[in-house]
Amino acid sequence: MYPLSKEQLEQSRSIQAQILQSAAKHKRGQLAKGLGVDTTTVGRWLDSSHKDSRLIQFAAILAMCNLKVVPINMRCYDSQKIDILFHIAKDSFNRLEAVDDFFMTPMTGQGEHNE
């Protein structure tokens, strides 16, 4: 067995905590019913001190695969794409000199006619 790196170990612990916090919001009976197992089985799986615990191994697998646990209402985006968008926004704001500039549309000179 290969030991987890320091970063993977930290990530694994974070995953364990997130799973436990989320599981605590639900009744174990409901979780067990959804999985088709007994309530005590779910308890053993989530109890990291129990010999039948699956939590530590599952969290380690996710950490080794560079995956993480996030709430369902969260969205994940590529950090490189967000970085590009951040720089575009930053450049746009750096061109502004006053608050009113933010609300003004630039005049291009095209399509204008004098009467």
Highest mean pLDDT among 24-33, 88-97, 100-109 belongs to 24-33
pLDDT computed for residue 114 by the predictor: 53
For 83, residues 6+ apart whose C-beta sits below 8 A from its C-beta are none
pLDDT tens string 78-104:
889 999 999 999 988 888 888 777 777
Taking residues 57-67, report their average pLDDT: 94
pLDDT greater than 60 at residue 111 = no
pLDDT computed for residue 99 by the predictor: 79
CA distance 70 to 74: 7
Read off the tokens for 100: 């009113």
Residue located via tokens 């005590």: 40
CA distance 29 to 35: 10
Residue 108: which pLDDT band, with cuts at 50, 70 and 90? low
The angle at the Cα of 14, spanning 12 to 20, to the nearest 5 degrees, equals 105
Reported pTM: 0.63
As a whole number, the mean pLDDT across the chain is: 86
Q: Where are the domains of the chain?
A: 6-64
The angle at the Cα of 17, spanning 13 to 22, to the nearest 5 degrees, equals 150
Taking residues 32-54, report their average pLDDT: 91
The single-letter code of the amino acid at 45 is: W
Least confident of 19-33, 74-88, 99-113: 99-113
